[in-house]
Each structure stands twice: as structure tokens, then as C-alpha cells.
């Protein structure tokens, strides 16, 4: 597996481009000295709270949780907005970023335009998740980022370990069910996690921005070229465990992918993701590996129909999304037992739901209406 994200489940040819130094970037504490030695310098220097949120006037505290496989993940807690009342936290909402991003993705734009700020200012108790390997979560109880084993995991582990650890921590602290909000990779993690009873029991509602489970109709040129080059196999053969596009090797790989004769990589963030073929399944170790891990030749699928019909779900997706294609989103919707509330915006791409300055009006008004309705809150947004 090549991390972060290792490789994606179920594909015979898997691509995971994970570049964690490039990124803006659970529930047991490890020995403090070991933890401090293995936390990233950026996090140790003050973390997301000190670097971004506290200077903006928002209350914010840093938390660390440890996953069952030893990763140390950072969480940020914003209990209320600038003018909120201390010790009077509203319903908890958990924000999970996508690939190539960290928790700061929810605060990219101004206070009035970024979803993280908007939720806090409208009475929600906001928790920010950061998965393993990202800028804010490069710690481990025994490993360092220089160890090969640190990067040997897939997005399946993000769902089964990271989501479980972070949500369990928030649930324990708040003693309340949590509204889950995910974007891109945060949605595939969420959908997989919601099939697990021990996780979904902690969730009161789910908001999925650009939901991904199937990628049969992906049209992002960068991804298609990388797959055609067998980039995943090349990286494994070269012994590369962390792909950093700021390194000399990373620049060379980008140059080969972004040759002007092939495609334009000026809008790289909107193109990069993970790709699989045909199924929403666990990691494919090959026949013998699958028999050892799963007791069968093929990896088991995540059964979307096992997500409780009683779980309220809201989905936002766009007509110009080259990753979460409309056809694939519709397939996901059909496999759910419930009927999610939908917001379709024809001229929105994959990143627009997070980074567009128009998202406040185009997306967040309806998103907030949904969350407030689930919590019985009066709408004032």
C-alpha cells in the first residue's frame, strides 16, 4: 500500500496520490513524551487553533486522540462563535475534510463565507477532524513519518480507525449524538463508517458534499493519465511511501503527468482523487491476501443498504464535478435505504462546495436548514 490513503479498495489497479507534506496540512492518550516527539512540527508549534482560529477571535482548543492502530490525530474544538456564550454549547457537528486537505479547509474563505465559521456563529458546537498523515496529524505512538509502516494504510483504515476514534472522543465529551459533515474523501469515509453499527449509533444526521463511493464515470484528466501510466505500481516499485510534490522526485512526477501535450494541471486540486473500478469495497490484497484477511477471494463490499433508514442524510453535488460524477452519485443514492435530501447545482465542480465564495448562499443556506431541522433549532441563517 502507498500512503496516505495507501491504496483504494477493490480495484485491480489502484491509484492513491497522497501528498501529505503538500496538504494544508483517537480516543486514548499515549505517553506524553513519545507523543510530543512524534507530532508534526506544525502541530507542535501551536496547531490549527493557534495558527488560524484564535487570531480570528474564535474560541478553540486542541485535542489529540489515538486510533487502535496507534496513530495520533488532532481535533480542534470551537464550542461557539465569536459572540457565543461560554459553557452553553449547541449540538455537536463534526467536519471531515477531503483528500489533499486538512481541517483548515473549512476556514479557507472569510468568516462570513467559510462553513466552519458559519456553523460556530450559528450556535453549533464545532469539532474539526484531521486524518492520519495530514499536516495536523503526523503523530504515531511508535512510528515516525520516516518509517515505511507509517504510510501502509488505505482509506478503509480512515473509516474503520480514524473516524471511529475521533467520533468516539467527541461523543464521550459531548454525551450527545453528532451531525457528520464530510466533503469528497470525507464522504467515502463517512459512508463506509455508517455501515458499522458501533459508529452510526453516534450519528444524528449526515451532510455529504460531493459524495463519493463509486468512481466509474470519473472524467478528471489528471487521474486518468496517472492510471494509464500505472503510477501506483511505479511508486511501489521505487519504494516511495509518501508522495510529496514539493520534493525533487514529486516535481519530476508532476512534470511527467502535466506535460502540456497531455493535459493542463493548473487546476490540480480539482483533479486529484482516488480511483477504483466498479465496487465500493474493502482493500484488495489479491486472492491469497483476501483469503487471509477476509476468508474469501474477493474483498467484501461496504453495503450501503445497511446504513439505517432512520439516519437523515443531505447530499450536495454538482454538474461539473469530474470526480463525483452525477451518474455515480445517483447510483449511491439508489443503494441507500433512505431517501436523502438533495441539492444539485449544475455549474458547481468538486471544490466549489468548499471554496466558492458563492457557496454561502448557494449551498450553506439549505445545508444549515437541514441541520437545524434535525436538531429542532429555529432557523436564523
Helix ranges (DSSP H) in the chain: 32-38, 41-44, 47-48, 115-121, 155-157, 164-174, 185-194, 197-200, 221-228, 231-237, 248-257, 287-294, 326-335, 352-355, 359, 365-375
- Active-site annotation holder among 125, 140, 350, 352: 350
For residue 15, give every residue at least 6 positions away whose Cβ sits within 8 Å of its Cβ, in sequence order, or none.
7, 8, 223, 226, 227, 231, 232, 274, 275
Active site residue 140: no
Q: Which residues pair with 179 in a beta bridge?
A: 93, 205
- Active-site annotation holder among 184, 213, 271, 356: 184
**136 close to 74: Cβ distance less than 8 angstroms:** yes
Active site residue 321: yes
d(CA 136, CA 138): 6
d(CA 22, CA 115): 23
Residue 247 φ/ψ, nearest 5 degrees: -80, 165
- Active-site annotation holder among 121, 157, 162, 321: 321
Q: On the CB side of 214, how many CA atoms lie within 13 Å of its CA? A: 18
d(CA 364, CA 78): 18
Question: DSSP string spanning 339-371?
Answer: --EEEEETT--TTHHHH-TTHIIIIIHHHHHHH
Active site residue 162: no
Active site residues: 184, 321, 350
Amino acid at each position: 500500500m502507498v500512503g496516505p490513503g495507501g491504496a483504494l479498495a477493490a480495484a485491480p489497479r489502484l491509484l492513491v496520490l497522497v501528498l501529505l507534506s503538500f496538504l494544508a496540512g483517537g480516543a486514548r492518550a499515549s505517553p506524553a513524551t513519545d507523543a510530543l516527539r512524534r507530532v508534526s512540527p506544525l502541530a507542535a508549534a501551536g496547531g490549527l487553533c493557534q495558527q488560524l482560529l484564535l487570531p480570528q477571535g474564535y474560541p478553540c482548543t486542541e485535542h489529540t486522540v489515538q486510533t487502535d492502530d496507534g496513530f495520533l490525530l488532532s481535533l480542534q474544538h470551537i464550542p461557539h462563535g465569536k459572540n457565543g456564550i461560554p459553557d452553553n454549547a449547541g449540538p455537536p457537528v463534526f467536519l471531515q475534510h477531503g483528500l489533499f486537505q486538512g481541517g483548515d479547509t473549512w476556514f479557507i474563505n472569510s468568516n462570513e463565507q467559510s462553513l466552519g465559521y458559519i456553523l460556530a456563529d450559528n450556535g453549533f458546537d464545532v469539532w474539526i477532524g484531521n486524518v492520519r498523515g495530514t499536516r495536523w496529524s503526523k503523530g504515531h505512538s511508535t512510528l515516525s513519518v520516516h518509517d515505511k509502516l507509517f504510510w501502509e494504510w488505505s482509506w478503509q483504515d480512515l473509516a474503520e480507525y480514524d473516524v471511529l476514534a475521533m467520533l468516539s472522543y467527541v461523543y464521550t465529551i459531548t454525551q450527545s449524538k453528532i451531525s457528520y459533515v464530510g466533503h469528497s474523501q470525507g464522504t467515502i469515509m463517512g459512508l463506509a463508517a455508517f455501515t458499522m453499527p458501533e459508529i452510526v449509533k453516534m450519528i444524528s444526521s449526515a451532510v455529504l458534499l460531493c459524495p463519493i463511493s463509486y468512481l466509474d464515470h470519473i472524467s478528471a484528466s489528471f487521474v486518468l493519465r496517472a492510471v494509464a501510466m500505472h503510477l501506483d505500481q511505479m511508486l511501489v516499485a521505487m519504494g516511495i511511501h509518501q508522495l510529496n510534490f514539493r520534493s525533487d522526485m514529486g516535481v519530476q512526477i508532476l512534470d511527467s503527468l502535466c506535460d502540456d501535450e497531455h493535459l493542463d494541471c493548473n487546476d490540480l486540486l480539482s483533479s486529484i482523487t482516488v480511483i477504483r473500478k466498479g465496487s465500493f469495497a474493502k482493500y484488495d490484497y489479491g486472492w491469497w491476501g483476501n483469503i487471509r484477511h477476509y476468508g474469501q477471494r474477493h474483498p467484501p463490499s461496504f453495503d450501503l443498504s445497511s446504513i439505517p433508514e432512520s439516519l437523515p442524510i443531505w447530499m450536495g453535488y454538482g454538474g461539473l464535478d469530474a470526480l463525483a460524477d452525477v451518474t455515480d452519485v445517483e447510483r449511491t443514492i439508489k443503494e441507500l435505504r433512505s431517501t436523502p435530501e438533495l441539492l444539485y447545482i449544475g455549474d458547481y465542480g468538486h471544490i466549489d462546495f468548499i471554496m466558492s465564495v458563492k457557496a454561502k448562499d448557494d449551498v450553506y443556506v439549505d445545508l444549515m436548514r437541514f441541520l437545524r431541522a434535525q436538531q429542532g433549532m429555529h432557523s436564523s441563517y
